[in-house]
A and B are shown apart, each in its own frame.
Chain A
Amino acid sequence: MNPVLKWLKSQIIEAFKISDEVMRGKAVETIEHEVAELDNIFGILVLGAFIGIPSPPIHITMELLPFMNKEFDIMLEKVLTAHDPLGHLFSVLGID
């Protein structure tokens, strides 16, 4: 095959791959945000004691804490941006 054609083909495939990835990313964007929200709720339920919310029996918190690095980060981050909840919602919905 002509090297130029070969190059063109690989470029087209690459472009297609990228657009596929973008489309797939777009398709799950909302559900990803929903999962982050659920993760946050789960975090608050188990680790609420850390941000001043009554929590389950403390030993449950202790048992799960070692595995909840991510939820802990999400929860603390949400606490930091808690003064601007609409900003987050607008960015999910794509409103500038």
Chain B
Amino acid sequence: MEPQLLFFIGKGGVGKSTSSALTAVYLASQPYKTLLVSMDPAHNQCDIFEQDFSEKPKKVSETLMVKEVNTDLWIEKYLKETTAQIKDTYKYETAFNLQNYFNVLQFSPGLEEYALLLAFEYTLHKYGDQDFIVFDMAPTALTLRFFSLPFITLIWLEELLTLRSEIYKKKEIISKIKIAGKEIEQDKVKAKLQTLIGNYEHLREHFMSDTTRVNLVMNNDKLSFSEAFRIRKKLLDISIGIDRIVINKVTPSENTEGIESEFKAQKITRFPFLAGGLSGYDALMDFISANTEEFQALEFGNTV
């Protein structure tokens, strides 16, 4: 069975990390095999759990593992592999000239979200045996670019494949006339384009699948509210729906009706405000037992 994927997204500072940590700890206590992945380049799961994490998942409890994605490491690894491939196929002088350009390419915008996508793909592949994978996402801008990357990439790839097929057809005509029907060699670029399209379609399906749930974390204030609207709209543009609204830092006397009436289609979870914030595994557990109803209402378990 494929793991359920829970994404926690929202404006910077609303409490995505805390909400995802709480959810992960709760799920692990049920006990589901849970992996919490921090995709925010400015990690803070280490502060919440009061211990260091890295690319390699670390066991926090019997059923809970936590890892922090290191985007720099992924970019570096990716560039190394590409460079090696280029050296294999290019003539010496070209490869030599290419190196200069290549050194600049690594600072191109867009590589950061690609690194996140690589890390995401790897996590799904490597930790497919988990019941839940909880993703603590980066603030809105990077997260939206991450989600839309497969969609935009597919548009490009399909256009390129059309052009490439046209070129290949003409090359076939040439070879038929010139060398009387002898097969021309398989076009490597076309084959690569087809593989890439397959990969990205797979990723897009993951984002749109029923087992993927997007949790939008927000606070009960105007800024957070208007950003939540924008996120909802942008995600709808690429057919990704929001499953749940987590209203974080709610005080007992606070009225959250405004949010509830705006997000009627979504389930609502309220996490109460806690002065001083949460840190340490025990504090998280205490918070969960003090707010059992909110967590029981998460209903994640019923769908596994």
Chain A residues engaging chain B, CB cutoff 8 angstroms: 24-25, 27-28, 31-32, 34-35, 38-39, 41-42, 45-46, 49-50, 56-69, 71-73
Contacts and interface: CB of A to CB of B under 8 A. Distances in A.
Given A49-B105, A64-B192, A73-B94, A42 B88 contact: no
Interface residues of B, number: 39
Interface residue SS majority, chain B: helix
A66 B85 contact: yes
Given A31-B170, A38-B170, A59-B114, A66 B88 contact: yes
Nearest to A28: B174
A66 B167 contact: no
A78 B167 CA distance: 18
A63 B163 CA distance: 17
B105 A31 contact: no
A78 B110 CA distance: 28
A65 B192 CA distance: 11
B160 A45 contact: yes
Chain A binding surface, main DSSP class = helix
Contacts of A65: 82, 86
Nearest to A47: B101
Contacts of B110: 57-59
B152 A46 contact: no
Contact of B153 (A41, A42, A50, A57): A57
B91 to A, nearest CB: 7
Contacts of B160: 42, 45-46, 56, 60
A69 B82 contact: no
30 contacts: A24-B177, A24-B178, A35-B167, A38-B163, A42-B160, A45-B160, A45-B163, A49-B101, A50-B101, A57-B110, A57-B153, A58-B105, A58-B108, A58-B109, A58-B110, A58-B111, A59-B110, A60-B156, A60-B157, A62-B105, A66-B82, A66-B85, A66-B89, A67-B89, A67-B189, A68-B189, A69-B89, A69-B91, A69-B94, A72-B90
